[in-house]
Structure formats: C-alpha cells, structure tokens
C-alpha cells in the first residue's frame, strides 16, 4: 500500500536515480516554485507530526524528530542539488512516512489520505498558475559534478 505520492516509489534503480531526483522532477512537473514546494512539504510535515503525536508508540520513539522544522538529518542542506532544498527535505520526510506511517494505515485511512493529498495538490496547482516557477535551464541542475 504505497499510495500515489512522489516519495512512495522504489528507492534507487540500476541507473542511480535517487528519490530526491524523482521529487525534484515532480516539483518541476507541477510547476511548483520554492514557496509552493515548501507548502507541499509543510502539508506532509503536519500530517506526519500529527500522526506521530497521536500514536503512543511513535510519540515515545519518534516524536523528537518533529521538534524542529524542517525535520531530519539533512534539513537545511541542499548538498549538490543546486538549491533543491525542498526535494532533499521531502525525500527524508517521505522516507519516514513511507516506512513508518503508511504501513500503519488501513485501506480506508489510505484512501482518505490519497483524497486529501489530491485536494491539496489541486489547490497548489491553482496557486502555481498565478505564481509560476522559474523556467528550468537547458542543462538540468540535478546532477553530480
């Protein structure tokens, strides 16, 4: 039960495609600028934080992960991604959601999450129409050099 989320696919391939590359492509495909990327991240952050705080086991073992925003080891770092900050942050948060939270959801909860996600995406897409992202360069920014 992976859901239809950009971070919920298989991690890594024989071609070396990182999940943050998938998330970067997702943001570019949606036309999300940095502000909208953060809104997308914040929606998931709030979902995960609420889920963890309402789960006795997770609140005791994982609650500390949400004491800062954004969460995670790689928070506030874009590494070699040339300012793809929210892709890196979403990758780490998405991994946590995929591996820890999604397996705890039943079919009905997953269905509701997918519907809520779609509604949020539709809202951000509308916002992106009036607040477009900068056009990507001819040579992609997501590469190791």
Query: pLDDT tens, 1-46?
Result: 445 788 876 655 444 445 777 888 899 889 899 999 999 999 999 9
Please state whether the predicted TM-score (pTM) of the whole model is above 0.85: no
- The stretch 51-68 carries a mean pLDDT of 90
pLDDT computed for residue 138 by the predictor = 61
- The stretch 59-78 carries a mean pLDDT of 78
Query: pLDDT tens, 90-138?
Result: 888 998 999 899 999 999 999 999 999 999 999 999 999 988 777 656 6
| Pairwise CA distance, residues 43 & 37, whole Å | 10
Average pLDDT, the chain: 81
Of residues 87 and 76, more confidence is placed in 87
Reported for 128-134, long-range contacts at CB under 8 A and 24+ positions apart, including other chains, are 128/30, 128/31, 128/32, 128/33, 128/36, 129/31, 131/33, 131/35, 131/36, 132/31, 132/33, 133/27, 133/28, 133/31, 133/32, 133/33, 133/34, 133/36, 134/33
């Amino acid at each position: 039960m992976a859901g239809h989320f950009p971070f919920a696919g298989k991690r890594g391939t024989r071609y070396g495609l990182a999940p943050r590359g998938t998330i970067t492509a997702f943001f570019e495909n949606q036309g999300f600028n940095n502000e909208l990327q953060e809104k997308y991240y914040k929606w998931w952050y709030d979902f995960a934080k609420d889920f963890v705080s309402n789960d006795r086991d997770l609140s005791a073992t994982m609650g500390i992960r949400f004491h800062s925003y954004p969460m995670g080891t790689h928070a506030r770092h874009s590494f070699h991604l040339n300012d793809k900050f929210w892709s890196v942050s979403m990758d780490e948060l998405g991994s946590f959601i995929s591996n820890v939270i999604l397996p705890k959801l039943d079919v009905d909860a997953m269905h509701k999450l997918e519907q809520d996600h779609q509604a949020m995406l539709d809202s951000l897409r509308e916002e992106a129409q009036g607040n477009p992202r900068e056009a990507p360069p001819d040579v992609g920014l997501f590469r190791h050099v």
